Amino acid sequence: MLVTGLIRQESRFEKDIESVAGALGLMQVLPTTGDWGAKEIGLGKFDLRNPTDNLALGTWFLDYTHEEYDGNSMYAIASYNAGPGNIAKWIKRFNPQDLDEFVEKIPFPETRNYVKAVLGNYWNYVRLYDAETQALMTEAIEQ
């Protein structure tokens, strides 16, 4: 559901969209990131406008960012938007103890808002489509 939340923010599910920076497709993958990811996962020719290729490369990069930050989705999402180098600098500079405080200190307003939006999308999808979460919500409402 995190990938779905990210896609909603990146492209609003428009597979042929292109950003002013040249990022393409559902997950708005930059061609340089696509080239790097294709080498890493052994993908030969690819087309970032092809949803299958775009999802393979976008999810590879999101997984890469998760691995870089020990599974921390907030850092991974921020890194997906602003790049791993920026996040590493910000973590070092702010030495965050609280992730909510970290988000508020992100110096790029676009990235700060992006993290909030992707996580908001994620929680909306969890609430709508995760059966266990729906059961917990129903139980809480009935009490």
Asked if residue 103 lies in contact with residue 74, where contact means CB atoms within 8 angstroms, the answer is yes
> Residue 29: helix, strand or coil by DSSP?
strand
**Catalytic-role residue among 10, 14, 18, 104:** 10
Confirm whether 10 is a catalytic residue: yes
- The secondary structure of the chain as a DSSP string is -HHHHHHHHHHTT-TT-B-TT--BTTTTB-HHHHHHHHHHHT--S--TTSHHHHHHHHHHHHHHHHHHTTT-HHHHHHHHHH-HHHHHHHHHHH--SSHHHHHHH-S-HHHHHHHHHHHHHHHHHHHHH-HHHHHHHHHHHH-
| Catalytic residue IDs | 10
